[in-house]
Each structure stands twice: as C-alpha cells, then as structure tokens.
Amino acid sequence: MKVTGDQALVKKINKSLILHTIRKHAELSRARISEMTGLNKATVSNLVAELQEDQLVLEAGPGESSGGRKPLILHFNAMAGCVIGMELRVKQLTAVLCDLNGSVLREAESPLYQHDLPYVFEAMKTMIATLIDAAPLTHYGIVGIGVGVPGMVDEHGVVLFAPNLGWEKIHLRELLEENFSIPVIIDNEANSGALGELNFGRGEDVRHLLYISAGSGIGSGIIIGGELYKGSRGYAGETGHMCIEAEGTPCSCGSRGCWELYASEKAYDLAALELPAYHTRELIRYADQGNAAACQQFAVMGTYLGIGLTNLINSFNPELIVIGGALSEARGWLEGPMQQVVARCTLPYHKQQLEIAFSTLGSRAAMIGAGFSAAIHFLGHTRVMM
C-alpha cells in the first residue's frame, strides 16, 4: 500500500515528529534533532521557529560546544497549558491537574456513595471546576480533560457498558464538553493506566506491555508494539470478566466465575471477613498487625491474581506486566502467592525475559494516563499509518 500526502501533510508530520522528540528528550540542539529525526537542518530550524511561535518550545541558553559555536538548547514548554486527568472508580472519584508533560500540579479525591448518573456527574463537575480554578496562568489554559472509566467506551466517548456502575450507553464526553467547552477524552481506565505506565512509569521503552488495573474490579490495558491495542471495535482489555470458575459466583456482567470476583476488592464481600473493614488500605493495616484473616484473604487473592495472569501471559507473551490500581498497595501480601502460581503454571518459554512489576505510579496511573491522552490530543501526534 502506497502512502501519499500533500506538502501540508508532510509538514504536519515533520512538525509533530520534532515536537515529540523535544518533549521526550531534554536539552536537544537543532543539530541533534536533525540527527535523531533524519530531517535536514533547514527543515528543523523552520519548524522549530514555528513551535516557538506556538509557545510550545523554548530556548534555554547555550549548551556544550563540540568545537565550534555553542548550540542553543531547546526545551518543551510543558507549562504552555494544563490538562485534567480523572479516574471514575466504583467507590471514589479522583483527579489530577497536570502540565502538558504529565507532571502533577494538584490532586483531588472524593468518595462516591451512589452510581446514578446525576449524582456522579455533579461530583465530576464539582471536582473539575475546582481544579480549573486552581490551575496556574498559562498561555493556552486548560486544553483538555481525560477521564478513565471502569467499562467499555466507544470512539465517541460513550460509556457503552460499565457493569460495576450499572451504566449503559452514557454519552459522557458529550455531557462534559457541553458543560465545560473543553475537549474531552473518555477511555477505559485500564487503557489510561497503560498509557500512564508506558510514558511515565515502569513501561518506558517497553514494546509489549500488559497493565493490570486491580481495584474495585480488574481491567487490562494492552500495549503491543509500543501502541495501545483496543481490538476491532475498541473494547479489548475486559479481562476482569475472563471466566476462571466455570460454575462460579454470578457476576454483574451477567456471566459467572469472573476473575475480578476472586482477585479484586470484590473478593472482600464474597469472603465475608469478620473484620470492621472492607477497603484495601484498612485490610493492609490489619495484615501488617499480623491479623490471620487479613493475611489469608490476601494470600487467596494473590493466588487468584496469579491464575488470571498466567492465562494472559500464555496468550500475549508480554515482556512486562505492571500491576496498578488500589491493590498495588498490597504488594507485600499479594506478590508471593501470585508469583508462585505464575512460576508453576506459565509455559516455560513465556517466562523467559518476562518481568512482573507493581506500578511505580500506584493508584495515580489511570489519572495521569487520562490527562496525558488529553495533552497528546491537544499537541497532535500525526504519523503515517501503513
């Protein structure tokens, strides 16, 4: 297949390439950008000048000389604007205000006591408005809002099905854009978490990554060849509803024996713990104090987590699995049983050069990834698709 384009498209692609090269690599000169991108020096100079006019690239003074005149060093202007990244969880709403390069400037959270749309949407509006008011003065202001939700989302930002919220066909992007007049990106929260890890966490420079979001449910963000994989219609990654017990407990999705019933916070309800706590942080505290019931609960969940991971490893052959979400904070109690199952049940060649890690971003991964999606939408990322 031949890929063709007019001069304007070529310029747009080259400008995007230069911008994201500067964004990813600190302290680059024009000559170094030319070397890294393969573009000639005149093209680089002209497009850098345009990016400076756009306030997206700044000169930061002279760099080290290699024998001639000292080169002028360029920086991405991350504070040209701000974005908001939000994660809608089953029991909580969390959000961050970030610059255009994913650095967190402000954070907010509030509990959710019910899931009906008017209640949740009002909470979202309040939190977003609070972060907008807290944003520093920048050239472009708030340029986008990204939201990760626990469910299936289509390309129009419609939440098609979120069983843990009881939502179906909710036009969330449209509602938010009408209210704030700011571009909005809606995606599955595990996809958002995968982007967060790929760009700012353990997944940097990884080509084949599985991000497992384990909290009130389980979802997976799948990175194949360095790109987010969404499947034929955008719904890939609903691994929490992978059946691991054929005649198991009924699930809110309509099936039975789903992985998330046994390896997410939903397992607390099934276990009927004789403890006055059903939240991960509280259960960690009990386990740290030596409570046998809490330690046993995490051991069982770690075992089931390993069963699901084994299925995914044997299916996708990733080089890295990152476990994030609320349960990542229980690493000390989950990791041992989980790794034992993976070591025992995974095909031997799939285990070679495989790393299973817990998120360095913790429960922030989905928020940061959602905000970064909004930033990339604003900055543009024009490429040639073969």
Q: Domain map of the chain by residue range?
A: 7-76, 80-193+366-379, 204-360
Per-residue pLDDT band for 65 (boundaries 50, 70, 90) equals: low
- 115-128 per-position pLDDT tens digit: 999 999 999 999 99
Of the ranges 29-33, 126-130, 217-221, 324-328, the best mean pLDDT one: 126-130
Superfamily of domain 80-193+366-379: ATPase, nucleotide binding domain (3.30.420.40)
Q: Is a pLDDT exceeding 60 seen at residue 70? A: yes
Tell me the three state secondary structure of residue 92.
Answer: strand
Q: Which class for 18: exposed (0-12), middle (13-18), buried (19 or more C-beta within 10 A)?
A: buried
Q: Residue 63 pLDDT > 60, yes or no?
A: no
Instruction: Give the model's pLDDT for residue 293.
Output: 87
What is the percentage of the chain residues whose pLDDT exceeds 90? 74
Task: Sort residue 172 into left (φ over 0), alpha (ψ -120 to 50) or beta.
Answer: alpha
Region for residue 301 given its phi and psi (left: phi exceeds 0; alpha: psi -120 to 50; beta: otherwise): alpha
* 275 membership: H or E segment, kind and range: none
Distance of alpha carbon 125 from alpha carbon 133, whole angstroms? 12
pLDDT of residue 382: 59
pLDDT score of 385 more than 50: no
80-193+366-379 against 204-360: fold identical? yes
- Tens-digit pLDDT profile for residues 189-234: 999 999 999 999 888 889 999 999 998 899 999 999 989 999 888 8
Confidence class for position 109, pLDDT limits 50, 70, 90: very high
DSSP 11-35: HHHHHHHHHHHHHHSSSB-HHHHHH
pLDDT of residue 26: 79
pTM of the model: 0.87
The pLDDT of residue 386 is 38
What is residue 207's predicted lDDT score, i.e. its pLDDT? 92
Q: Which class for 274: exposed (0-12), middle (13-18), buried (19 or more C-beta within 10 A)? A: exposed
pLDDT score of 272:
64
Q: CATH fold of 7-76, please?
A: Arc Repressor Mutant, subunit A (1.10.10)
Q: Mean of the pLDDT values across residues 163-177?
A: 95
Q: Which residues pair with 144 in a beta bridge?
A: 83
What is the rounded CA–CA span in Å between residue 221 and residue 240?
11
Angle, CA 17 vertex, CA 15 and CA 20 arms, to 5°:
105
**CATH number assigned to the domain with residue range 204-360, chosen from the 4 options 3.10.310.30, 3.40.140.10, 3.30.420.40, 3.40.50.10330:** 3.30.420.40
Helices (H), 86-137: 117-134
